[in-house]
A and B are shown apart, each in its own frame.
Chain A
Amino acid sequence: MSTAILPSAAAAEMSATAPLTLPNPARSVRGVLPGFGLSLGFALSYLSLLVLIPLAALFLRAAGLGIEGIWHELTSARVLHALGLSFGGALAAAAINTVFGALIAWTFVRYDFAGKKLFHAMIDLPFALPTAVAGIALTALYSEHGWLGAPLAQFGIHVAYTPLGIIVAMVFISLPFVVRTLEPVLEEAEQQLEEAAATLGATRRQTITYVIFPTVAPALLTGAALAFARAVGEYGSIIFIAGNLQNVSEIAPLLIMIRLDEFNYGGATAIAAAMLVISFAILFGINLLQAWSRRHA
């Protein structure tokens, strides 16, 4: 396509008769833009080589263990505890972030207060701060002599080196998801609907329950799902604060790491495959729930 600038009539004709002027017949179906084969080919090969084939290799390896082999690896008390801790902790963290995330998003969208811009700019910090840094900072903060750990210890609450510390790290790492997915929805939510509800005699509480909540529920679920997915696999920020005691505060990703260090690839593969299957199942369930809540909004 190295023709000079064409008069508009000729241009229109040319785009209409594109199959004749372009050598590749596939382009005529796709319109006049070039690069379809190249861009899709590159994207698909790169996706397959880097992500799909390696993940498939993991499942193939797991399949090689056989059902019995996988069952044997997964049903040890240590593995079950680690999986329970990772998934239970992630659910707790997602729940905490759903409540506080909704509250934070609401405050930022609807109210004005001093320092709003600065605090708002900080919300994405967990995405920008490397997890190892977050991990050692949280540990220093919540240890016996830390700024928060010392006063909490006086009430008999120990965060660092306990399962509670794991939840704190998970809350930190997944904090932005709910806030970020909720904010645009709250901003776009039509306040006219609230006004309509109010003029019809609804109290503020009724308006929030019956008008605002149904509009934001799907976004709330998306945020919670993203937060959960991130927290369940989190490793860097947790291992420093967890204490990593077998059957107490040992998360599933750490156990995978330990199995790999022992060259027990079968054990590591079984745990990894189980984690992926359970996460995908939960995310799929949340997707269905979301579709349902959209229909009923």
Chain B
Amino acid sequence: MHEPASVRRYDNALIEPAPVRWLLIVVTLAFLAVFLLLPLVTVFVQALRNGVSTYFSALTDADTLASIRLTLVTAAIAVPLNTMFGIAAAWAIAKFEFRGKTLLPPLIDLPFSVSPVIAGMVFVLLFGSRGWFGPWLSEHDVKVIFALPGIVLATTFVTFPFVARELIPLMQAQGTEEEQAAMTLGAGGLRTFWHVTMPNIRWGLLYGVLLCNARAMGEFGAVSVVSGHIRGMTNTMPLQVEAMYNDPGEYSAAFAVSSLLALLGFVTLALKNFLEWRHGSELAALRGRG
């Protein structure tokens, strides 16, 4: 109140009036509470609605356990494959110059603009009983669609860009000087990669793997097309949630299995935020890229 009027006017021009600020904060918190917090709370409330014993019996159900196993196996194949791809693609794009390089990142991001249902469907068109390779596959008694290979293919497709799109900007920002120094000092290619490149990219790599894994374990649409929905056989955890949800007697069980997936999401978020907080400066190239 003791400031000269001109200073106050200057401040007013730099920040919104207090009522506007409060309104924006209240709207932000209300929007996030309604759209994020409430759905999350609902999962746990519905899961525990019929008591703890029902909750645990839903989780130890044979079909549920089979779906957990299938989800873990699928992620254990899809995530390492996409990680290897991500490292290879980032190495080629970030460390070398070649023609058509600028075309690659948009192509790598392509699966993000393809509906998960279409992602699953392309494999049905290729490997389904009436697909291109369908007759050949059934002659040789190989099952792809409605079996593990199809589920892995669909999952790998939808999680394809995650690691690559984190590593490419990170490795581009780091350039090639350190690697070149190591090579001229006599280190071999692999040694250079492990001891020079890897320490620089490990947090970005972990970040990408984390997001890739969360999507791989939680994918629904793409897997739904190729799975065949056989309980205890080809149902992943999200499909098991759907199967239970559609059975009136298992409404609460569906939320119990969901709560496990929600926990996975929770852990993913916590680790993601930890990485951003602890190694934020190293990951600076990644920020703002979802």
A130 in complex: contacting residue of B193, B238, B273, CB < 8 Å: B238
Contacts A30-B96, A236-B220, A253-B221 given; does A111 touch B126 at CB 8 Å: no
Q: List A110-160 residues whose CB lies under 8 Å from chain B.
A: 110-111, 113, 115, 119, 121-134, 136-138, 140-141, 146-148
B221 and A33 contact, CB distance less than 8 A: no
Asked whether A288 is an interface residue with its Cβ less than 8 Å from the other chain, the reply is: no
Chain A residues, CB < 8 A from B28: 103-104, 107-108, 119
Asked whether B180 is an interface residue with its Cβ less than 8 Å from the other chain, the reply is: yes
CB distance from B8 to the nearest CB of A (A): 12
Q: List A64-118 residues whose CB lies under 8 Å from chain B.
A: 100, 103-104, 106-108, 110-111, 113, 115
Cα–Cα, bound, A263→B130 (Å): 8
A235 in complex: contacting residue of B29, B183, B220, B258, CB < 8 Å: B220
B272 and A124 contact, CB distance less than 8 A: yes
Asked whether A217 is an interface residue with its Cβ less than 8 Å from the other chain, the reply is: no
B38 and A33 contact, CB distance less than 8 A: no
A3's nearest neighbour on chain B, judged by CB, is B186
Contact with A along B18-39 (1 / 0, CB 8 A): 0001001101110110111111
B132 in complex: contacting residue of A32, A35, A57, A269, CB < 8 Å: A57
Chain B residues, CB < 8 A from A3: 186
A136 in complex: contacting residue of B125, B130, B219, B254, CB < 8 Å: B254
B118 and A58 contact, CB distance less than 8 A: yes
B92 and A256 contact, CB distance less than 8 A: no
What count of chain B residues pass the 8 Å CB interface test? 108
B269's nearest neighbour on chain A, judged by CB, is A128
Interface size class of A (residues with CB under 8 A): 35 or more
Q: Which of B55-63, B103-111, B136-144, B198-206 lines the interface with chain A? A: B103-111
B117 and A229 contact, CB distance less than 8 A: no
Chain A residues, CB < 8 A from B118: 58, 233, 253, 256, 272, 275-276
CB distance from A174 to the nearest CB of B (A): 10
B179 and A133 contact, CB distance less than 8 A: no
Cα–Cα, bound, A14→B261 (Å): 55
A54 and B97 contact, CB distance less than 8 A: no
A14 and B184 contact, CB distance less than 8 A: yes
Tally A-B pairs: CB < 8 A.
318
B211 in complex: contacting residue of A2, A14, A127, A233, CB < 8 Å: A127
Chain A residues, CB < 8 A from B179: 33
Asked whether B2 is an interface residue with its Cβ less than 8 Å from the other chain, the reply is: no
Q: List B260-275 residues whose CB lies under 8 Å from chain A.
A: 261-262, 264-266, 268-270, 272-273
Contacts A138-B39, A175-B35, A175-B36 given; does A106 touch B24 at CB 8 Å: yes
Cα–Cα, bound, A175→B125 (Å): 32
Contacts A31-B96, A175-B36, A233-B116 given; does A104 touch B31 at CB 8 Å: yes
A6 and B185 contact, CB distance less than 8 A: yes
Chain A residues, CB < 8 A from B46: 137, 140
Cα–Cα, bound, A184→B8 (Å): 29
Q: List A156-205 residues whose CB lies under 8 Å from chain B.
A: 171-172, 175-177, 180-185, 191, 194-195, 197-199, 202-204
Asked whether B231 is an interface residue with its Cβ less than 8 Å from the other chain, the reply is: no
**What 5 A-B pairs have minimum CB-CB distances, sorted nearest first?**
A233-B115, A130-B218, A236-B220, A198-B13, A235-B221
Query: A-side interface residues toward B, CB under 8 Å?
Result: 1-6, 11-12, 14-15, 30-36, 38-40, 42-43, 46-47, 50-52, 54-55, 57-58, 61, 100, 103-104, 106-108, 110-111, 113, 115, 119, 121-134, 136-138, 140-141, 146-148, 171-172, 175-177, 180-185, 191, 194-195, 197-199, 202-204, 207, 219, 226, 229-230, 232-236, 240, 252-254, 256-257, 260, 263, 265, 268-269, 272, 275-276, 279-280, 283
A–B complex contacts, Cβ < 8 Å, 24 sampled: A31-B180, A42-B88, A43-B92, A52-B107, A57-B132, A111-B21, A111-B24, A122-B269, A126-B36, A128-B268, A130-B219, A130-B261, A132-B258, A133-B241, A133-B262, A137-B46, A137-B255, A226-B112, A230-B112, A233-B114, A234-B221, A235-B224, A236-B116, A272-B121
